[in-house]
């Protein structure tokens, strides 16, 4: 196991993790493509079409385009004071990615898993992951997308289609000094397309395995100083129906001699998604409106597999942001943003225990349902000052409010509205707005201020320092610093020494949940904290080879975990700041433009993590590797092959189950791009070509409300076919 680690350590002497993916296509390349589209077939056959002419997936990397996620201002990725990656629309199309999750699987050090409740992705960076996935900050056009009740993107996130994505910028490592709460292990910022990205219209359709049907249409146009872009994306799928052989109830059946469990049963990965976007710009102003609707089937509850029923999780979201950018004079660049984010979610009737549970004492089982409405409002203003010699200073201030405006709770267990204990055979009763409800309405307010300075104190040396202060209405204040020392030894080699601290705020469930069984919130809970050190190298010996390595170590303290507690003879689990996690590892990456027709990307990531008990972090893989090859066949056919290896998903010391099996997937995409006509594209693809058996690890803690015995199966081999028309 140590051999690949030593190899990567040797590689780290001359390489560093740099953004692998190109930014937007250049104006020169766009002009070249336009000229190619005007040629007839005979003329086109006389010209050697290069890979860069079809998908600029390497050239833009070599030219070292800029990223803005590290500091808020565009700068060269090689000197950005963070470990960043960029995925562009061209990368997404070239690899045949159908969702954001598929695209993010190419990022070293990031593991994209599946949530046990619904077919929604979870994002683990460097081994940091909990059940509701609040450790990573996800944004759309710089607006945080956060569920106040769980802390993550929400149980109904349902993934994101990709037709309207212009690019995705990723930070692996702490980002709270710039972005505040929940930029704990990393940041994902999804930037949507403007009229400049669309350059006209496109309509597309895709069909595939599991009765999957997708369609999209988008159009962008410049009208004088006004640019306007709009898109609609629709997905409908029955989803993969793998079998769960046993669940938490199976454990109790063995102890009590019953057979109440639904297992073995199929998982329910149905989904029906709608995404509607409007993006407008005028004289430095930009308005973005986004509506998302998700209707998702249930894989499982916390204790029992959920057979396919009529009940689904319905999640609707609406985002509205207004951004203004302007230059006050030669020294001042200013930006302000106002945003509004609304979300409502309806769980339908959810089964916690199946019929016949508790040795037959509960003939109908235990059920509950919730409905919530949340509104996030946010305002932020920042300014860059360039008037000092060798310094660029950024100052920012803002205010955010998260408001759980409505929470409805119905159940046939716990307490009724008068505080009486419900019997096993009770009907489902509505206790919304009473003390018996699982959650109450709540408001969290956050005031923040930050400062950042980039000092070019010597030739090819820069030092970036930053500090952010956040004050919360419910748990107090926190301060998070960062610094980054960057040195360009020469034109081919750059090194970075990075330090940062970050925090993730406690969710409303962790603070105040009650009457859902044995889980109880803690009003005195405090934020989790993390400190991270990174040593990074970039080595680019020529225009066709790029090598990157990043070494890191971190220590997360005050981790929020549930601990058993006796209250008046009743055993409960209360949230406490009693956890800790340490991690160390590396990420190595190679990008090689083999010739004008072929490009290769390879990366490897290793992390060694332990909790406060010395146990390895469960669920997440401790080793991953990724290989991607792109090749242009002739002038119009493009093939992409990807290999994804996931290994060493360990169990805790109390878990007697064998470790979750490693898996390797091979994905293929074949695409026709009509450069001579410029209108029609066709593609076919296979995922998991060799039909490797794959499972998502599940937590294990018998006798608790989080126990689920069997791992969740992941999709088998599947196919898709796609057509696009540009107008």
DSSP characters over 379-441: EEEEEEE--STTEEEEEEEEEEEEEEEEEEEEESSSB-TTSPBPPTTPPPEE-TTSTTSS---
Segments of 13-102 assigned E as strands: 66-67, 75-76, 84-88
List own/partner pairs for 254-257 with CB under 8 A and 24 or more apart: 256/358, 256/359, 257/359
CA separation for the pair 416, 435 (Å, rounded):
9
Signed CA dihedral, 177, 153, 89, 218: sign only: negative
pLDDT for position 67: 74
Q: Measure the CA–CA gap between 285 and 26, rounded to whole angstroms.
A: 23
Question: What was the pLDDT predicted at 254?
Answer: 82
pLDDT band of 34, cuts 50, 70, 90: low
At 703, the pLDDT band (50, 70, 90 cuts) reads low
Query: How far is it, in rounded angstroms, from Cα 154 to Cα 132?
Result: 7
Q: Which residue has the tokens 């990531």?
A: 605
The yes-or-no verdict on residue 24 having pLDDT over 50 is no
pLDDT at res. 72 = 78
Residue 458 CB coordination number (10 Å) = 10
pLDDT at 38 exceeding the cut of 80:
no
Sequence-separated (6 or more) residues with CB below 8 Å from residue 26? 56, 60
pLDDT tens per residue, range 161-200: 999 999 999 999 999 999 999 999 999 999 999 999 998 9
Task: Tell me what pLDDT residue 210 has.
Answer: 94
Q: What average pLDDT does the chain have?
A: 86
In terms of C-beta density within 10 A (0-12 exposed, 13-18 middle, 19 or more buried), how is residue 294 classed? buried
Task: Fill in the DSSP letter of residue 161.
Answer: B
Angle at 668 between CA 663 and CA 672, to 5 degrees: 165
Q: Note the pLDDT of residue 25.
A: 38
Tokens of 405: 């405006």
Q: How confident is the model at residue 564 (pLDDT cuts 50, 70, 90)?
A: confident
Average pLDDT over residues 646-675: 89
CA distance 332 to 384: 6
Phi, psi of 390 (to 5 degrees): 65, 10
Superfamily name and number for 2-726: TonB-dependent receptor, beta-barrel domain (2.40.170.20)
What residues does each domain of the chain span?
Answer: 2-726
Q: What is the mean pLDDT of residues 480-507?
A: 94
pLDDT score for 12: 36
pLDDT above 80 for 523: yes
Does position 662 have pLDDT exceeding 60, yes or no?
yes
pTM passes above 0.85: yes
With H, G, I as helix, E, B as strand and everything else as coil, classify residue 90. helix
For the ranges 22-36, 413-427, 463-477, 661-675, the maximum mean pLDDT occurs at 463-477
């Amino acid at each position: 196991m140590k051999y690949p680690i030593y190899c990567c350590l040797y590689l780290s002497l001359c390489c560093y993790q740099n953004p692998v993916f190109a930014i937007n296509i250049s104006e020169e390349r766009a002009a070249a493509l336009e000229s190619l589209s005007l040629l007839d077939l005979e003329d086109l056959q006389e010209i050697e079409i290069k890979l860069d002419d079809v998908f600029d997936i390497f050239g833009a990397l070599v030219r070292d385009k800029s990223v803005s996620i590290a500091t808020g201002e565009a700068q060269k990725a090689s000197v950005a004071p963070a470990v960043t990656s960029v995925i562009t629309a061209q990368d997404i199309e070239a690899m045949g990615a159908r969702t954001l999750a598929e695209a993010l699987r190419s990022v070293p050090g990031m593991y994209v898993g599946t949530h046990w409740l619904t077919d929604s992705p979870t994002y683990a960076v460097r081994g940091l992951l909990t059940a509701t996935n609040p450790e990573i900050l996800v944004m759309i056009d710089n607006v945080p997308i956060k569920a106040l009740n769980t802390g993550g993107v929400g149980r109904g996130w349902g993934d994101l289609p990709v037709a309207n994505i212009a690019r995705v910028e990723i930070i692996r490592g702490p980002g709270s000094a710039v972005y505040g709460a929940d930029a704990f292990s990393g940041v994902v910022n999804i930037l949507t397309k403007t009229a400049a990205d669309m350059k006209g219209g496109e309509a597309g359709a895709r069909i595939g395995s599991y009765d999957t049907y997708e369609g999209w249409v988008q159009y962008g146009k410049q009208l004088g100083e006004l640019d306007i872009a709009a898109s609609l994306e629709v997905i409908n799928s029955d989803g993969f129906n793998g079998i769960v052989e046993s669940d938490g109830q199976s454990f109790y059946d063995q102890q009590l001699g019953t057979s109440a469990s639904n297992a073995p049963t199929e998982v329910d990965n149905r989904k029906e998604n709608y995404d509607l976007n409007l993006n407008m710009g005028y004289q430095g102003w930009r308005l973005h409106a986004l509506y998302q609707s998700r209707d998702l089937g249930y894989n499982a509850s916390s204790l029992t597999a959920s057979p396919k029923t009529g009940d689904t999780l319905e999640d609707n979201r609406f985002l509205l942001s207004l951004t203004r950018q302007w230059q006050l004079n030669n020294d001042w660049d200013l930006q302000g943003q106002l945003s509004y984010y609304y979300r409502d979610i309806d769980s339908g009737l959810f089964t916690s225990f199946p019929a016949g549970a508790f040795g037959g004492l509960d003939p109908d089982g235990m059920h509950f349902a919730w409905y919530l409405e949340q509104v996030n409002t946010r305002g932020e203003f920042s300014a860059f000052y360039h008037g000092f010699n060798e310094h660029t200073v950024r100052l920012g201030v803002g205010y955010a409010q998260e408001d759980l405006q409505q929470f409805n709770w119905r159940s046939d267990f716990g307490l009724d509205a008068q505080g009486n204990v419900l019997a096993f055979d009770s009907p489902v009763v509505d206790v919304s707005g009473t003390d018996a409800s699982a959650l109450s309405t709540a408001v969290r307010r956050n005031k923040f201020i930050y400062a950042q300075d980039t000092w070019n104190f010597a030739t090819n040396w820069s030092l970036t320092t930053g500090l952010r202060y956040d004050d919360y209405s419910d748990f107090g204040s926190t301060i998070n610093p960062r610094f980054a020392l960057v040195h360009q030894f020469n034109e081919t080699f750059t090194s970075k020494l990075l330090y940062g601290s970050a925090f993730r705020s406690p969710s409303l469930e962790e603070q105040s949940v009650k009457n859902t069984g044995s889980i109880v919130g803690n009003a005195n809970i405090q934020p989790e904290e993390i400190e991270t050190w990174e040593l990074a190298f970039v080595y680019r010996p020529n225009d066709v080879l790029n090598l990157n390595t990043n070494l890191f170590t971190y220590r997360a303290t005050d981790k929020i975990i549930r601990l058993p507690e006796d209250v008046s003879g009743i055993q409960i689990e209360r949230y406490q700041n009693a956890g800790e996690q340490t991690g160390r590892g590396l990420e190595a990456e190679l990008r090689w433009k083999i010739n004008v027709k072929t490009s290769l990307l390879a990366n490897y990531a290793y992390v060694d993590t332990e909790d406060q008990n010395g146990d390895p972090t469960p669920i997440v893989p401790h080793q991953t590797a990724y290989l991607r090859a792109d090749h242009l066949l002739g002038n119009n056919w493009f093939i992409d092959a990807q290999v994804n290896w996931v290994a060493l998903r360990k169990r805790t010391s109390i878990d007697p189950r064998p470790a979750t099996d490693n898996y390797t997937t091979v994905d293929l995409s074949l695409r026709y791009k009509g450069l001579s006509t410029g209108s029609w594209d066709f593609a076919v693809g296979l995922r998991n070509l060799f039909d490797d058996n794959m499972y998502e690890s599940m937590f294990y803690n018998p006798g608790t409300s989080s126990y689920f015995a069997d791992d969740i199966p992941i999709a088998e081999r599947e196919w898709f076919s796609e057509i696009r028309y540009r107008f």
